[in-house]
Amino acid sequence: MSEPIASKFADEPDESTDSSVRLEVTVEGVAVLLLNRPERRNAFNARMILALTEALQSLAGAEGVRVVFIRGAGHAFCGGADLDWMRSAASWTEAENRADALELARMLHALHRLPMLTVALVEGPAFGGGAGLVCACDMAVATSDAVFAFSETRLGLTPATISPYVVEAIGPRHARRLFALAGRFDAAEAHRIGMVDEVVATPDELNARQEALAAEALIAAPGAVSDAKTLVRDVTGRAVDQALMEDTARRIAARRVSPEGREGLAAFFDKRKASWIS
């Protein structure tokens, strides 16, 4: 059962998570998940990944959260893997490395499966796993000086755990090119290939877009948003046959008779705000 936002979150950062991740949620249901290792360009280590997973699991089960923004503290989104963490991993066994990589995979899956809109707000570098984090969100806005890279192959590695989200975001052709060349690319290129939805000039404009997107997100019915996200996952790659047509007809019929559907249509015809709009 979902927990009320007031009992799960406060207006201050959530103290149940590691200090490398800070979570704030407003009473309106706008969550900001801050990667908080600015001295390391918010690079991942094992503790940070665990803290992110815990925060995302809390958000998934929290009643009233309507939109989640992910940002980096300082002037970096996420520099990828922490160098000390990478150095340690080089001495681990294959089994130990598999277990470690699975934690990152679980964190990304938790983000990708959140029922509410998720938005990456990217300033500065988003490398490796940080770029994967961007792709696992529903949308991304970046400042014009943001820089991206999938640099794993230059280290003799592959971007395996982030690959499902990268391929979904930019397609296999762009993914093959960027994985193979492993070089840096700017926000304009990220926008061209669909990894970033909008590019703004300054951090102040990024803050303004956060506020505007939060206001837009609060207009949509939360249950409908969750169902719409599931719909995209379920219809992607399927042939448009009788089974799919029947499935989609069933889904819209269920929505029309749902409490949200009835309230939304009534509000529209009555020319008033729906009950979920504050």
Instruction: Supply the residues annotated as catalytic.
Output: 152
- Please tell me the total number of residues recorded for the chain in this structure: 278
d(CA 81, CA 25): 27
Residue with tokens 């926008």: 191
Judge residue 120's burial from the number of C-beta atoms within 10 Å of its C-beta, 0-12 exposed, 13-18 middle, 19 or more buried. buried
